[in-house]
Amino acid sequence: MAVGTGLATAKAFRNLTPADPFRLLRERVNRLFEDGLITFAPQDYESLPLSSWSPACDVYETEKEIVVKADLPEVKKENIQVTIDQNVLTIRGERKFEEENKGKNYHRVERNYGEFMRSFTLPAFLDLTQINAEFTEGMLRVAIPKREAAKPKQVEIKTN
């Protein structure tokens, strides 16, 4: 039995190279960045405090507005700031550890405390002068209405 050598053997081994299981995932993530669906907010990182935790947020769109909802349990309203600068919505604040509980014998502390910050780049079609922020039962809801020109319109079809 002869052992194959040379170019034919090299081609055979090249065909046996295992497939990259993460290739499809990498391609999809790259496409998100290329299509501009994922953007990074321009920020002055030196002036921002490091975040101790990051609250969970939902961002959704209706016909009239874009809404950002942030879970902020046990955060007081006076410890929350909502700002918009150069089309970047920033929610920052602090959840403080309960001072009266410091003497207790904790077996586990899993909830995060300290400063937090979340930033979202907003699309240009929003009316930033009409922003509305409400804080109820540990939920911050920020609604930014769309400009009239950006709202969907029904187009009448004419016949000849």
- Please state the domain extents for the chain: 43-99+112-150
Tokens of 158: 């004419």
Written as one letter, the residue type at 63 is E
The per-residue pLDDT for 116 is 92
SS3 label, residue 15: helix
Cα–Cα nearest to 91, from 46, 136, 56, 137: 56
pLDDT for residue 10 is more than 60? no
Q: Using one digit for the tens of pLDDT, what is the confidence trace for 87-102?
A: 899 999 999 877 655 5
pLDDT for residue 138 is more than 90? yes
pLDDT for residue 159 is more than 50? yes
- For residues 41-66, average pLDDT: 72
Cβ(100)–Cβ(119) under 8 Å?
no
Facing residues of 136 across strands?
A: 139
Written as one letter, the residue type at 109 is V
User: Mean pLDDT: which of 14-23, 25-34, 87-96, 107-116 is highest?
Assistant: 87-96
Average pLDDT of the chain is 78
The per-residue pLDDT for 48 is 44
Which helix (H) or strand (E) segment holds residue 25: the answer is helix 23-34
The per-residue pLDDT for 59 is 94
pTM comes to: 0.60
**Domain 43-99+112-150 coded CATH 2.60.120.260:** no
Distant-in-sequence, close-in-space partners of 73: CB < 8 Å, separation ≥ 6: 95, 138
